Amino acid sequence: MVAVLVALTVGAPSGLALERRRSAEARLEGPPGKPAPAPVEVGEDALTRALGSGRIDEAAYALERARSLFDLADVRARYGDVVRPDPRAATLILRDLVLRLGQLTPGQRAAARTILARPTDGNADPMGDGYAVAEEAPVCTEHGCIHYVASTDDAPDPTDVDPANGAPDFVDRASETLEEVWAAEVVAHRYRAPKSDETSVNNGGDGRIDVYLANLGDDGLYGYCTTDDPNAEAGSGYGYYDFSAYCVVDDDYAEFPPPSNGVRGLRVTMAHEFFHAVQFAYDAAEDAWFMESTAAWMEDEVYDRIDDNRQYLPYGPLGRPRIPLDLNRGFAVYGSWIWPRFLSETADPDIVRRAWKRADASPKGSDAYSLQAYAGAISSYDGRFRWVFADFGMYNAVPAALYEEGRAYPIPPEDARIRITVRDAGAVGSEILDHLTNAYVAFVPGRGVASTARLALSLDGPPLRAGTEASLVLVRRDGRVRFAPLAVNRRGDAGATVRFGPGTVERVVLVMTNASVRRDGGCWRDPTWRFSCAAYPRDDDLRFRYRAELIA
């Protein structure tokens, strides 16, 4: 092992990691003509086995998975042990179906259209949430319309304290919420407005976005957005992925626990699902982790005090730092919202919009994939993706020291906690890291360590080009925290010496980072679409070796 021990320089966050050693950034280029993403993974069950064995193809799988949102018993009767999808996954499950309409048989396509039909299509929507009675006059504002019925299970509470417009109070709250969300996401954050749906056969009356109230709670669903944009239809000849959208939300949120019940549930769902409609105006076929993490992040941007998205943090980089950031699987796609939160708190919330602008898959867009879009947005702030990701891992070691609400966030688990004593005055070890992951090893001063002691730490990692980065976090007994990015040489070596007196220091954390974004062979190669742009990561399963030595 070769490492140069340098004096530790520490300080508070100062922008987007510009203090890190400058190094060549891997080029993030995705070829044009991307395919539709693989269907969102819901779980290992009879449907996934049927797909894996070839009994059904991908299009039929997407159809059956969409059926399971609204009639799980029927799908189970035909296939067996089919899991219930996560209630937040409905939008992308329906997206997967839309993108495969052209691959279905005529009979399957007809069934798919009943699932994708709007509630006001009535009997044409028997598998979903079709209204059984005529709708009332929609409550429309400048930007959108709320549709509802006055009877049946789809009707909201009829209470109407303010009868000015004759609509129930819950309908008025939904209309007010839609305008609040529009003002936050489109006006304040400057995202592209949802596309007009005027060309849809059933457009709700005009080109404004339509939100339908229906009894989704009995299906365990909070809400969803989908599209009936003719450009999304097979044979349209459009060739791009920007579509209009309409949304359906629950009619009362009575079935859900706090903080996702009642009007609070309506608000946080509207913020999340409306942002999916915004995303559809950029690229409806983006990576699942990019779409869901930014939608979950947007919940907090619009309604900061509801905090429904905290439930997903244990599944993302805070709770599971050894899971790659760009994993398109399970609850990780929601838990990764801490990444845009980090960017927005350390740089500027607009950095996320800049990423979506680069992901734009309309005729005028560059159609960058998720990591490529983030790298481009970060470069517009004179940063580099690898530096920012390394700082992300570093500051995550003590969330309370950086994030505005960090005291309520989970602390990443330590891969090892090593007590350094006079008798056991050193330690060596190693960790295996995949791309876009972090490992945390804590060193604690123990028996016999002098108040003037120092600790020498060195890292022997993979070569710099493979994404090696490293940091130290010094946690003092008085609660203060100091952060220090380490300079890594081309061989992947880094080191530092730090104060280690037990009267002052509680622990020193070595943060090892695999910040690689390199792809093995380019995009659109992995049919499972496990990671960003369906690529195979080049720098997984890499060993990082570390050494610690007490200096009296």
* Final residue before a domain boundary, out of 116, 137, 166: 116
- Give the pLDDT score at 552: 79
Rounded to an integer, what distance in angstroms lies between the CA atom of residue 157 and that of residue 152? 11
pLDDT in tens, 447-490: 999 999 999 999 999 999 999 999 999 999 999 999 999 999 99
- Give the pLDDT score at 277: 98
Span 427-434, mean pLDDT? 98
pLDDT in tens, 131-176: 999 999 999 999 999 999 999 999 999 999 977 788 999 999 999 9
Residue 69, number of CB atoms within 10 A of its CB: 25
Question: DSSP character for 282?
Answer: T
Single out the residue of 258, 265, 276, 260 nearest to residue 174, CA to CA. Answer: 265
- Give the pLDDT score at 5: 31
- Give the pLDDT score at 236: 85
- Give the pLDDT score at 33: 63
Whether residues 45 and 152 fall in one domain:
no
Rounded to an integer, what distance in angstroms lies between the CA atom of residue 198 and that of residue 98? 18
Whether residues 108 and 133 fall in one domain:
no
* Final residue before a domain boundary, out of 285, 311, 334: 285
- Give the pLDDT score at 125: 58
Higher pLDDT, 249 or 6: 249
- Give the pLDDT score at 34: 79
Angle at 403 between CA 398 and CA 406, to 5 degrees: 65
Whether residues 90 and 203 fall in one domain:
no
**Residue 22 above 70 pLDDT?**
no
| DSSP secondary structure letters along 222-236 | -EEEE---GGGSTT-
Q: Is residue 312 part of a domain?
A: no
Single out the residue of 206, 217, 201, 137 nearest to residue 175, CA to CA. Answer: 137
Residue with tokens 């070596």: 493
**Contact at 8 Å (CB) between 464 and 491?**
yes
Whether residues 86 and 199 fall in one domain:
no
**Residue 29 above 70 pLDDT?**
no
Q: CATH code at 150? A: 3.40.30
Q: Compute the residue count for the chain.
A: 552
Span 531-548, mean pLDDT? 97
Q: Is residue 400 part of a domain?
A: no
Supply the mean pLDDT for the chain.
92
The two three-digit tokens of residue 377, written as one number: 């947005």
**Contact at 8 Å (CB) between 98 and 227?**
yes
pLDDT in tens, 79-123: 999 999 888 899 999 999 999 999 999 999 999 999 999 999 977
- Give the pLDDT score at 260: 84
- Give the pLDDT score at 4: 31
Rounded to an integer, what distance in angstroms lies between the CA atom of residue 308 and that of residue 269? 9
* Least confidently predicted of 21-30, 252-261, 362-371, 446-455: 21-30
**Residue 292 above 90 pLDDT?**
yes
**Residue 442 above 50 pLDDT?**
yes
- Give the pLDDT score at 233: 86
Residue 476, number of CB atoms within 10 A of its CB: 13
**Residue 15 above 80 pLDDT?**
no
CA dihedral 194, 185, 355, 540 (to 10 degrees): -100
Single out the residue of 406, 438, 445 nearest to residue 424, CA to CA. Answer: 445
Q: CATH code at 424? A: 2.60.120.1050
Residue 262 banded pLDDT, cuts 50, 70, 90: very high
Whether residues 441 and 489 fall in one domain:
yes
Task: Tell me the CA distances in angstroms from 141 to 271, 308, 319, one per residue in order.
Answer: 17, 27, 41
* Rounded CA Rg of the chain: 25
Q: Is residue 432 part of a domain?
A: yes
Residue 1 banded pLDDT, cuts 50, 70, 90: very low
* Final residue before a domain boundary, out of 237, 253, 285: 285
pLDDT in tens, 333-384: 999 999 999 999 999 999 999 999 999 999 999 999 999 999 999 999 999 9
pTM of the model: 0.93
Query: Could you give the number of structural domains in the chain?
Result: 3
Whether residues 210 and 257 fall in one domain:
yes
Angle at 350 between CA 346 and CA 354, to 5 degrees: 115
Q: Is residue 340 part of a domain?
A: no
- Give the pLDDT score at 171: 97
- Give the pLDDT score at 165: 83
The two three-digit tokens of residue 343, written as one number: 């960017």
Percentage of residues in the chain with pLDDT exceeding 90? 86
Single out the residue of 304, 306, 301, 329 nearest to residue 316, CA to CA. Answer: 329
Residue with tokens 């320089």: 9
Whether residues 514 and 446 fall in one domain:
yes
CA dihedral 95, 96, 99, 101 (to 10 degrees): -110
Q: Is residue 475 part of a domain?
A: yes
Whether residues 457 and 546 fall in one domain:
yes
Whether residues 141 and 55 fall in one domain:
no
The parent domain of residue 444 ranges over 414-551
Side-chain-side CA neighbours of residue 27 (13 Å): 5
- Give the pLDDT score at 124: 62
- Give the pLDDT score at 234: 76
The two three-digit tokens of residue 493, written as one number: 């070596």
Q: Is residue 290 part of a domain?
A: no
Rounded to an integer, what distance in angstroms lies between the CA atom of residue 517 and that of residue 374? 11
Residue 477, number of CB atoms within 10 A of its CB: 12
Q: Is residue 235 part of a domain?
A: yes
Angle at 301 between CA 300 and CA 305, to 5 degrees: 45
Number of separate helices (H) and strands (E) present in the chain: 13, 14
Whether residues 534 and 443 fall in one domain:
yes
Residue 12 banded pLDDT, cuts 50, 70, 90: very low
Rounded to an integer, what distance in angstroms lies between the CA atom of residue 525 and that of residue 522? 7
**Contact at 8 Å (CB) between 80 and 68?**
no
In sequence order, the 6+-apart residues with CB closer than 8 A to the CB of 163 are none
Question: DSSP character for 1?
Answer: -
In sequence order, the 6+-apart residues with CB closer than 8 A to the CB of 52 are none
Q: Is residue 58 part of a domain?
A: yes
Q: At what angle do helices 385-396 and 370-379 cross, to 10 degrees?
A: 100
Angle at 159 between CA 157 and CA 164, to 5 degrees: 125
Residue 237 banded pLDDT, cuts 50, 70, 90: confident
Whether residues 58 and 190 fall in one domain:
no
* Least confidently predicted of 51-55, 70-74, 235-239, 431-435: 235-239
**Residue 267 above 60 pLDDT?**
yes
Whether residues 86 and 227 fall in one domain:
no
In sequence order, the 6+-apart residues with CB closer than 8 A to the CB of 374 are 355, 385
pLDDT in tens, 176-227: 999 999 999 999 999 999 999 999 999 999 999 999 999 999 888 999 999 9
Span 30-54, mean pLDDT? 85
